[in-house]
Amino acid sequence: MSKGVAITGMGIISAIGNNVPENYDALINGKKGITRVDNIDTIQRDEIMVGEVKFTNDELIAQLNLPPENNYSRTAMLAVIAAKEAFANAEITDIKKHRTGIISGTSVGGMDMTEKYYYEYLTEKPFQKYIESHHAGDSTQKIAEQLGIEESLVTTISTACSSAANAIMLGARLIKSGKLDRVLVGGADCLSKFTINGFKTLMILSDTFNTPFDENRKGLNLGEAAAFLVLESDEVVKVENKKVLAYVKGYGNANDAFHQTASSDNGDGATLAMEKALKVANLKPSEIDYINAHGTATGNNDLSEGRAILRIFGENVPEFSSTKAYTGHTLAAAGAIEAIYSVLALQHNVIFPNLNFKTPMKEFSMVPQTELKQKVLKTVLSNSLGFGGNCSTVIFSKEA
Amino acid sequence: MSDLKQELKEKIIEQLNLEEISVADIADDDALFGDGLGLDSIDALELIVMLDKDYGIRLSDPKEGRKIFESVQVMADYIQEHRTK
Amino acid sequence: MKKVFINSIASISSQKTFDNSVFLNEIIDYNNTVIFAHDPDYKQYIPPAAARRMAKGIKMGVVASKIAMDEAGIETVDAIITGTGMGCMIDSEKFVSAIIDNNEQYLTPTSFIQSTHNTVAGQIALGMECKAYNFTYVHSAISFESALLDAKMQLENDEAEHILVGGVEELGEHTTKVHRTINHIKPEAVTISTVLNSKTEGAVFSEGANFFAVSNEKRESCYAELLAVETYNTLQKERVSETIEYFLEENNLKIDNIDLVVLGNNGDVEFDSYYTQLSEGMFRQTQQVFYKHLVGENNTVSAFGIWLASKIIKIQSIPEILKINSIATSEVKTVLCYNQYRGQNHSLVLLKKC
């Protein structure tokens, strides 16, 4: 059970960069991508900050060379850009050579178009093409089309903010069980009025830069992004002499079963998810070198997750940080964004800082890593916690 | 004042979809949260919007709500004092 | 690898299916293009405090899951895995229209919270206080099969012993209107007896919830063994027969070994040929049934097909209203279910007598 699954390619587009090198550059230089929202016309503009990809839809259409009659939602366009980079990075040329599938996570799906044309759909023919791009599976299907993946296992997971982490988990299990040889895993979510106003009603949006694990945190910044990783079986890696970037070593999912949106005070779900992931990885807590925390900067999440980390690691919590201060909370994509950041951390032996942190929380003495730090890393643990009590942990490692 | 309390009870039942409860079931001093009416944090957010929409009272911190929504009586007193519409 | 068994079934559909002691002995006809679920008394299953925020899909999912748990005689599970193609439509519509109608002002959180795709799985977990693995698949017509495949892998590898798996779909008023404009819904009212020969585009839209307790331990209540689940994002019409043959071969079966085929015909003149080429082709000597004339079309209605197959295998009797041809086998041992929606997202599920 403890053998890892090889990661051979990565692709990402987020508020801090349009590809993997740009994201890495921003991470090590402390450049955050949090601004006012530009691409959505919302009355909340002056009350919130977001992590936005600054390309307009027209610019994305041009980048992807899509015909004018295309019905791509913004989620789908972001997804395809990241998926293509991941495939190129994995140097995949012959798609038919191995049994290849896709598992993607999304929560917004095509909601950006639906909210734009909701009533127009009933009468305006030109917009009706987007009706079929509303459902959550659509962006995944678009990736398959663009990459030429046919007659395959292509599916979508939606477990709110843990969706992409769960996609990685399922992908790794499909490879381990021999069901697939190669699988693209990750997630995508664009910003939308739906999520902006939804989180606003929960009163957990910050009106300024989000400050994970800070005593005076005011809430989260929403973000948009897509990120995908290519997982391949040992056989494919061997036959094709693939360069392995890192391994998916362990994973676990559990439900907090406490409240629809809030996490339990003691982080039961997150604790269970981390325990399971450590077990699958066959690692002791002391063997984890860095934790990329979920750390959304809401009062509830950071307290609950912090307590869960303490329950697992006790006195010996390794360096931890949340990268949400860079990207905002990219919802269903977050698990894949942070998977890539975890792999980058392993590759470069570096811990990314938890930006904007000033004051330790009064409930415990844990303090995140606030400066960029060089450290030899063998393993990174990444948490993703979501609505519906959905808690996931994925562990990445340098060695199989 | 008693009109306001009646109005609040009706709104609470309507807004929070408390199908099994009637206005007569809610006494002015009954606790709305916890062991009383059994409302929770999501209901508190609903009531915050009601304060804003119907009485022009804006709360920025959901924690403030907890005190105000202690009972219909407390709510009515607070609204009486702070309402802008 | 361990074997996987379907130990209990539960269905809320447009027919009277939630009572497991009967099997389509009374049929509800319709004359419509959209059909709603025949509701059980939800209050019997869900306390009012919990039910007050639940839209219909959540109620259907929660109740179907309870029926399935009861029949399997289990209190808790090692995983809850659901599939829903369209998710919680009613609350999604409520929140989007509120955003537009009120210009982003005075919005309340409940419908936003309830609109999340994993609401049903989350609510089931909350109700059972089940902290186990909890996934929701949202991929159009293979949402349920993705959930079933996930469950099967866990049980085979002994990562779990009991899993609750289900599919749920609810009708949203606006979404229905919108799908009418692009002809995904039939242009004229049809009935059970006319829908499959309507020769028009589109389907009868419907809703429902189908849940199953699956396990690697065979219980007394066992309906069937789950042999294989396969999904295909695309499949050319000409490639369907070939793909099925290959699928059977992979499972060491020949066409002759299949005692019953469950087909997903929905009366859409554009896409039913995916099925008719099979019923008139490779399976012309095989007993065939269909079911969407009774329960309509939705993204997880294929789970009803599996409900049906399970029931037939267990009680060894096929209601006349389901039969496509007059071929009858003495014993229904092995059943193949095939489904697709609008030429995409195909699934094959293989069940065997346990």
What ipTM did this prediction achieve?
0.98
Is pLDDT above 70 for A2? no
Reference A7, options A253, A252, A175, A179; nearest CA is A175
C76 interfacial to chain A (CB closer than 8 Å):
no
Nearest-10 crossing angle of helices C56-72, C119-128:
50
Determine the residue among B11, B12, B15, B19 to mutate to test chain C binding: the one whose Cβ has the most chain C Cβ atoms within 10 Å: B19
Tell me which chains share at least 3 CB pairs under 8 Å with chain A.
B, C
Give the separation between CA A11 and CA A143, rounded to whole angstroms.
13
**Pairing relation of β-strands C344-352 and C224-234?**
antiparallel
Q: Round to the nearest angstrom and report the end-to-end CA distance of chain A.
A: 11
Q: What is the pLDDT of residue B19?
A: 86
Please indicate whether, in this complex, the C-beta atoms of C108 and B45 are within 8 angstroms of each other: yes
Please indicate whether, in this complex, the C-beta atoms of B49 and A201 are within 8 angstroms of each other: yes
Residue A356: which region, alpha, beta or left (left: phi > 0; alpha: psi -120 to 50)? left
Whether residue A388 contacts residue C118, with contact meaning beta carbons closer than 8 Å, is answered with yes
C234 interfacial to chain A (CB closer than 8 Å):
yes
A367 interfacial to chain B (CB closer than 8 Å):
no
- Selecting from C113, C157, C174 the residue whose C-beta is nearest the C-beta of A261 gives C113
Whether residue C80 contacts residue C164, with contact meaning beta carbons closer than 8 Å, is answered with yes
Tokens standing for A269?
């779900």
Is pLDDT above 90 for A262? no
Please indicate whether, in this complex, the C-beta atoms of A107 and C345 are within 8 angstroms of each other: no
- Selecting from C48, C49, C108 the residue whose C-beta is nearest the C-beta of B46 gives C108
Confidence of residue A261 (pLDDT cuts 50, 70, 90): confident
Give the separation between CA A293 and CA A393, rounded to whole angstroms.
10
Whether residue C296 contacts residue C204, with contact meaning beta carbons closer than 8 Å, is answered with yes
Is pLDDT above 80 for C114? yes
Q: What is the rounded average pLDDT of the residues A100-116?
A: 98
Q: What is the pLDDT of residue C329?
A: 87
Q: What residues of chain C lie within 8 A of the CB of B22, using their CB?
A: none
Three-state secondary-structure class, residue C242: helix
Nearest CA in chain C to A251: C133
A363 alpha-carbon distance from chain centroid: 28
Name the residues of A annotated as catalytic.
161, 294, 329
- Selecting from C92, C108, C128 the residue whose C-beta is nearest the C-beta of A201 gives C108
The shortest C-alpha distance from A218 to chain B (Å) reads 10
Q: How many residues does chain B have?
A: 85
Is pLDDT above 60 for A1? no
Q: What is the pLDDT of residue B63?
A: 86
Please indicate whether, in this complex, the C-beta atoms of C106 and B53 are within 8 angstroms of each other: yes
Q: What is the pLDDT of residue B85?
A: 85
Whether residue A99 contacts residue A182, with contact meaning beta carbons closer than 8 Å, is answered with yes
Q: What is the pLDDT of residue B60?
A: 86
Instruction: State the architecture of A5-239 in CATH terms.
Output: 3-Layer(aba) Sandwich (3.40)
Please indicate whether, in this complex, the C-beta atoms of A202 and B45 are within 8 angstroms of each other: yes
Q: Which domains, and CATH codes, for chain C?
A: 5-215 (3.40.47.10), 224-352 (3.40.47.10)
Residue A67: which region, alpha, beta or left (left: phi > 0; alpha: psi -120 to 50)? beta
Question: Which residues are CB-contacts of A241 (< 8 A; sequence separation ≥ 6)?
Answer: none
Q: What is the rounded average pLDDT of the residues A116-139?
A: 97
Whether residue C248 contacts residue C329, with contact meaning beta carbons closer than 8 Å, is answered with no
- Name beta bridge partners: C299: none
Residue C150: which region, alpha, beta or left (left: phi > 0; alpha: psi -120 to 50)? alpha
Helices (H), chain A: 20-28, 57-64, 74-89, 111-117, 138-147, 163-176, 193-201, 234-239, 268-281, 299-313, 324-327, 334-348
Q: What residues of chain B lie within 8 A of the CB of C43, using their CB?
A: none
Question: Which residues are CB-contacts of A377 (< 8 A; sequence separation ≥ 6)?
Answer: A289, A290, A345, A346, A349, A350, A351, A398
Q: Which residues of C touch B (CB under 8 A)?
A: 48-49, 52-53, 106-110, 113
Per residue in C149-196, pLDDT (tens digit) is 999 999 999 999 999 999 999 999 999 999 999 999 999 999 999 999
Question: Which residues are CB-contacts of C67 (< 8 A; sequence separation ≥ 6)?
Answer: C8, C10, C18, C20, C211
Inter-chain CB pairs, B–C, below 8 Å: 23
Q: What is the pLDDT of residue B49?
A: 96
**Where does residue A28 rank: exposed (0-12), middle (13-18), buried (19+ CB within 10 A)?**
middle
Q: What is the dihedral angle through the alpha carbons of C191, C194, C198, C202, rounded to the nearest 10 degrees?
A: 30
CA atoms within 13 A on the CB side of C264: 29
Q: What percent of chain C has pLDDT over 70?
A: 100
Reference C117, options C84, C164, C140, C150; nearest CA is C84
Residue C5: which region, alpha, beta or left (left: phi > 0; alpha: psi -120 to 50)? beta
Is pLDDT above 80 for A215? yes
Three-state secondary-structure class, residue C160: coil
Q: What is the rounded average pLDDT of the residues C132-156?
A: 98
Please indicate whether, in this complex, the C-beta atoms of C138 and A258 are within 8 angstroms of each other: no
Domain extents in chain A: 5-239, 250-397
**Pairing relation of β-strands A222-223 and A50-51?**
parallel
How far apart, in Å, are the Cα atoms of C310 and each of B12, C90, C331? 46, 30, 14
**Where does residue A288 rank: exposed (0-12), middle (13-18), buried (19+ CB within 10 A)?**
buried
Question: Residue C336 carries which side chain, given as an amino acid letter?
Answer: L
Determine the residue among C108, C110, C114, C123 to mutate to test chain B binding: the one whose Cβ has the most chain B Cβ atoms within 10 Å: C108
How far apart, in Å, are the Cα atoms of A64 and each of A61, A83, A163, C199? 5, 12, 25, 39
Give the separation between CA A320 and CA C210, rounded to whole angstroms.
43
What's chain C's average pLDDT? 97
Question: Which residues are CB-contacts of C161 (< 8 A; sequence separation ≥ 6)?
Answer: C78, C155, C215, C216, C217
Give the separation between CA C223 and CA C71, rounded to whole angstroms.
11
Is pLDDT above 90 for A92? yes
Q: What residues of chain C lie within 8 A of the CB of A135, using their CB?
A: 85-86, 138, 140, 299
A216 interfacial to chain B (CB closer than 8 Å):
no
DSSP C222: -
Q: How many residues does chain A have?
A: 400
Give the separation between CA B21 and CA C52, rounded to whole angstroms.
11
Domain extents in chain B: 2-82
Give the separation between CA C56 and CA C48, rounded to whole angstroms.
14
Q: What is the dotted CATH code of the domain comprising A250-397? A: 3.40.47.10
Handedness of CA C39, C41, C44, C49 (dihedral sign): positive
Has this prediction a pTM greater than 0.95? yes
Give the separation between CA C303 and CA C82, rounded to whole angstroms.
11
Give the separation between CA A13 and CA A80, rounded to whole angstroms.
10
Confidence of residue A387 (pLDDT cuts 50, 70, 90): confident
Please indicate whether, in this complex, the C-beta atoms of A201 and B62 are within 8 angstroms of each other: no
- Name beta bridge partners: C231: C347
- Selecting from B15, B19, B46 the residue whose C-beta is nearest the C-beta of C48 gives B19
Q: What is the pLDDT of residue A3?
A: 86
The shortest C-alpha distance from C96 to chain A (Å) reads 6
Question: Which residues are CB-contacts of A33 (< 8 A; sequence separation ≥ 6)?
Answer: A14, A15, A16, A17, A26, A51, A52, A223, A326, A327, A328
The shortest C-alpha distance from A305 to chain C (Å) reads 16
What's chain A's average pLDDT? 97
Nearest CA in chain A to C126: A257
Q: What is the pLDDT of residue B66?
A: 86
C257 alpha-carbon distance from chain centroid: 25
Q: What is the rounded average pLDDT of the residues A80-106?
A: 96
The shortest C-alpha distance from B42 to chain C (Å) reads 7
User: Of C72-81, C322-331, C340-349, which gets the smallest average pLDDT?
Assistant: C322-331
- Selecting from C53, C106, C107 the residue whose C-beta is nearest the C-beta of B17 gives C53
Q: What is the dotted CATH code of the domain comprising B2-82? A: 1.10.1200.10
DSSP C234: E
Provide the total of helices (H) and of strands (E) in chain C, helices listed first.
11, 12
Q: What is the rounded average pLDDT of the residues B25-37?
A: 91
Please indicate whether, in this complex, the C-beta atoms of C136 and A159 are within 8 angstroms of each other: yes
Determine the residue among C46, C52, C115 to mutate to test chain B binding: the one whose Cβ has the most chain B Cβ atoms within 10 Å: C52
Q: What is the rounded average pLDDT of the residues A208-223?
A: 98
Give the separation between CA C306 and CA A310, rounded to whole angstroms.
45
Q: What residues of chain C lie within 8 A of the CB of B15, using their CB?
A: 108
Per residue in C79-98, pLDDT (tens digit) is 999 999 999 999 999 999 99
Q: What residues of chain C lie within 8 A of the CB of A179, using their CB?
A: 153
Please indicate whether, in this complex, the C-beta atoms of C181 and A152 are within 8 angstroms of each other: no
Give the separation between CA A153 and CA A275, rounded to whole angstroms.
29
Nearest CA in chain B to A199: B45
Determine the residue among A48, A203, A258 to mutate to test chain B binding: the one whose Cβ has the most chain B Cβ atoms within 10 Å: A203
DSSP B28: T
A159-190 b/e (C-beta count within 10 Å ≥ 16 → b)? bbbbbbbbbbbbbbbbbbeeebbbbbbbbbbb
